[in-house]
Structure formats: C-alpha cells, structure tokens
Amino acid sequence: MNAHAHPFDPAVPRHDWTLDEVEALFELPFTELIFRAAEVHRRWFDPTQLQLSQLLSVKTGGCPENCGYCSQSQHFKTATTASKLMEAEAVIAAAAEAKAGGAQRFCMGAAWRDVKDRDLPKVAAMIAGVKALGLETCATLGMLTAAQAKALKAAGLDFYNHNLDTGPDYYDQVVTTRTYQDRLDTLAHAREAGMSTCCGGIVGMGETRRDRAGLLHQLATLPSHPESLPINDLMPIPGTPLGGSTPVDGLEFVRMIAAARLVCPKSMVRIAAGREHMSRELQALCFLAGANSIFIGARLLTTDNPDQDQDTAFLADLKMGPLRTTAAQTV
Ligand code: SAM
Ligand code: DTB
Ligand code: SF4
C-alpha cells in the first residue's frame, strides 16, 4: 500500500457521511449493495442471531401531535380508541408474558407529545418492574427534558426510542406540531443521561429516495449512532392523511435496510412495523442485508404483527435464533 492509499474499512463506523454518499448507496446494483452490507454485518454480528423486542402500548390514543401516519393522533378520525395510562402491575405482567415468549427487550409506548412530570412515578415503577424481570427496558414517550431523561435512566431505563421518521426536507409534510430539532434535542437528552438510543424512521410515506438517504444521513452524523435503528414500513391507517400512501416496493425496503447497515455498522437494524404484510422471502432478504432485530408478539402498538407461532416457525426454517449477548454496545 503506498503512502497515499486510504485504508478505508467499511465496517468501521464513520460520522462524516455526506448526503450524496448515502444516496449513492441506494444507486448501487442490488446484488452489490446487499453483498457489501452482508460483509459489514458479519464483522460486528453473528448473522444467524436476531435481537427480539416486544412492544406494549401503555397509553393509547388521544395524542395532541399530528403525525400523518399515526392511528393515535387526536387530529384524525381512526378506529383507535383512547385509554388512560396503564397501571404498573398490568404492564409488568405483560412484560413477564413477553419474556416467557422469548422477548429480550420490552418497549413501553405512550401516545404523548412529551412526558408530564406527574406521570413519572408511575412510568418509573413500570420500568423498574420490567427491569427486575431481567429484560432490557425501552420506552417511547415523546419529548423528554434533560431532567426527565435522568429520572428515567435512574429508574432502570436502558433504551429510549425517539424516531426522526424521515429526512429533514420531508419532515413538515408528515408532522407540523413539532420540529426536527425538537426530536434531535430529545435524543441528545437521552444520550446525555447515559441511555442507549433507538432511532429510525418510516418508509412508504410518499418520500423520495433522497429523503430516505436524508434520514440515514442524519443518523450517521449524530455524535453517536443509535444503538438500535428501526426501519418501519408504513402501516397504513384509514382516516390518517397518509392512510392511502402507495406502498414502497419490497426491493426498495431491502435497500433501505442495507444502507442503514452500511452507515451504522454496529447498530441493531430492526425490521420494525410492516412485517405483517411482508413475505418470508422479503424478510429473509432483509436479514441477509443486515437487519438483525424484529418485534415479536401479535401486536405492535395499535396494529398487527405476525403471530408468535408463525415467527417461531419462520426462524426455525431459517435456522436463526435469538441474539445471545444483549448488552447494549457503545457505537
Ligand atoms: N408518541 C411517541 C413518539 O411519537 O415519539 C412514541 C410512540 S410513536 C407511535 C413511535 C413511532 O412509531 C413513531 O415515531 C413512528 O416512527 C412509528 N409509527 C407510528 N405509527 C406508525 C405506522 N402507522 N406505521 C409505521 N410506523 C409507525
Ligand atoms: C418503532 O420504530 N416502531 C415501533 C416502536 N419503534 C415504538 C412502533 C410501530 C408502531 C406501528 C403502528 C402501530 O402499531 O400503531
Ligand atoms: Fe403522537 Fe407519537 Fe402518534 Fe405522533 S407518532 S401522533 S407523537 S403517538
């Protein structure tokens, strides 16, 4: 190697990606993109192992935000009915069931714009109870102040999920009740409190490839990459502005997974919402392209996910199994 050769190793995380570089990944021939992503995947992970998370909506509906994809916004008339914050005991019982079903991480979701301090004691009790079961804990509760993030961490919260959803240029087509910067600020609070972050987005909302690249570019240039990177395929919700969106082609979804793997080599890339309408072959292609996490259990927050039996058979057919080390890694 001469003195000018750049010892570029694609498996080493970088934080200086340009938007054009990320977009160029999507333009690679499909086989080339998948192969590169699979190579990087194997450098950091056992490609036969999947991290298994399970969701519970601990507070459903009635949300003041206007996210155009969401069944839980009070701005739209959807089939989802609002309910109050669950009692900690009921949440902990659901987590115990999830653990018995093989879940490794339990994620509690609330349809809130932001956390109210009055709700913190109850949420802290849920987190502490779920953690005591030996599960990794995750919550997605909307915006957090720095002090709230510290309180959640102290209660035992391992991960905070807060998605950027799409690229910055498309964001105001999707939601107008908060800004992209609001989302980045909450992520910073979670990170600074010492929690791992879970941050990704949605495809299938009418965005362009450049918008998808824009989302990944944002994630890749954060001070630290999100430890978990969920890619949701839009679950179209009748009654929402995005309920009639044209679905994204499966191959484009796989490209998004592969590009996510390449820009955040050490993150757990999750096929999040949307497996319900994906074939086994498409999901298998995603695993080949670097996806190594899924949600298990028959419900996500308000929509369906494949039945547990179906997933058990699927993973057995693939000869794939649960991740064997679940310690959050620093990226
Ligand atoms: N209210 C909190 C928030 O918005 O951060 C937490 C819950 S919210 C439902 C969590 C994430 O789920 C959203 O950021 C979005 O990425 C994803 N999501 C919500 N509805 C979806 C849908 N219909 N299809 C795909 N993903 C969806
Ligand atoms: C994520 O990225 N997707 C999950 C979790 N993080 C919170 C939520 C998916 C929700 C799908 C629509 C619903 O079930 O309401
Ligand atoms: Fe509210 Fe979250 Fe749904 Fe947006 S995605 S409307 S913030 S529950």
User: How does DSSP assign 135-195, residue by residue?
Assistant: -EEEEE-SB--HHHHHHHHHHT--EEE---BS-TTTHHHH--SS-HHHHHHHHHHHHHTT-
pLDDT at 32: 98
pLDDT at 326: 54
Which tokens hold the place of 90?
């009921």
pTM of the prediction? 0.96
Is residue 7 one of the residues assigned to a domain? no
Q: Which residue has the tokens 């996806």?
A: 291
pLDDT at 268: 98
Total structural domains in the chain? 1
Ligand nearest to the CA of 67: 3
Could you give the CA distance from residue 104 to residue 326 in angstroms, rounded to a whole number?
A: 8
Could you give the CA distance from residue 209 to residue 190 in angstroms, rounded to a whole number?
A: 29
CATH of the domain at 42: 3.20.20.70
Ligand 3 atom closest to Cα of 175? 4
Is residue 129 one of the residues assigned to a domain? yes
Sequence-separated (6 or more) residues with CB below 8 Å from residue 14? 220, 263
Q: Which amino acid is at 294?
A: I
Is residue 11 one of the residues assigned to a domain? no
pLDDT at 325: 75
Cα angle value 197/203/206 (rounded, 5°): 140
Is residue 10 one of the residues assigned to a domain? no
pLDDT at 12: 95
Could you give the CA distance from residue 303 to residue 245 in angstroms, rounded to a whole number?
A: 17
* 198 in catalytic set: yes
Is residue 324 one of the residues assigned to a domain? no
- DSSP annotation of 275 reads G
pLDDT at 329: 47
* 286 in catalytic set: no
Is residue 328 one of the residues assigned to a domain? no
Is 164:199 a contact under the CB 8 Å cutoff? yes
Domain of 313 in residue numbering reads as: 19-317
Could you give the CA distance from residue 119 to residue 8 in angstroms, rounded to a whole number?
A: 48
Sequence-separated (6 or more) residues with CB below 8 Å from residue 116? none
- Is any ligand 3 atom within 6 A of the Cβ of residue 91? no
Is residue 191 one of the residues assigned to a domain? yes
pLDDT at 8: 86
Could you give the CA distance from residue 7 to residue 31 in angstroms, rounded to a whole number?
A: 24
Is residue 12 one of the residues assigned to a domain? no
Ligand 2 atom closest to Cα of 69? 12
Could you give the CA distance from residue 156 to residue 128 in angstroms, rounded to a whole number?
A: 6
From 51, 52, 55, 203, mutation site for ligand 2 pocket: most ligand atoms within 8 A of C-beta: 55
- Is any ligand 2 atom within 6 A of the Cβ of residue 127? no
Total Cβ atoms within 10 A of residue 195: 24
Query: Residue of the nearest CA to atom 8 in ligand 3?
Result: 111
Which tokens hold the place of 106?
């339990």
Could you give the CA distance from residue 265 to residue 37 in angstroms, rounded to a whole number?
A: 9
pLDDT at 4: 56
Ligand 1 atom closest to Cα of 140? 6
Could you give the CA distance from residue 300 to residue 239 in angstroms, rounded to a whole number?
A: 19
Question: Residue 147's Cα: distance from chain center in Å?
Answer: 24
Could you give the CA distance from residue 57 to residue 64 in angstroms, rounded to a whole number?
A: 16
Torsion of CA 305, 306, 308, 313, to 10 degrees: -150
Sequence-separated (6 or more) residues with CB below 8 Å from residue 125? 88, 155
Could you give the CA distance from residue 210 to residue 217 in angstroms, rounded to a whole number?
A: 10
Beta bridge partners of 232: 202
Kindly name the residue from 36, 105, 138, 183 that is annotated as catalytic: 138
Each of the 331 residues of the chain gets a pLDDT tens digit; together they read 444 555 689 999 999 999 999 999 999 999 999 999 999 999 999 999 999 999 999 999 999 999 999 999 999 999 999 999 999 999 999 999 999 999 999 999 999 999 999 999 999 999 999 999 999 999 999 999 999 999 999 999 999 999 999 999 999 999 999 999 999 999 999 999 999 999 999 999 999 999 999 999 999 999 999 999 999 999 999 999 999 999 999 999 999 999 999 999 999 999 999 999 999 999 999 999 999 999 999 999 999 999 999 999 999 999 999 999 754 444 4
Nearest to 271 by CA among 262, 258, 45, 215: 258
Q: Which amino acid is at 279?
A: S
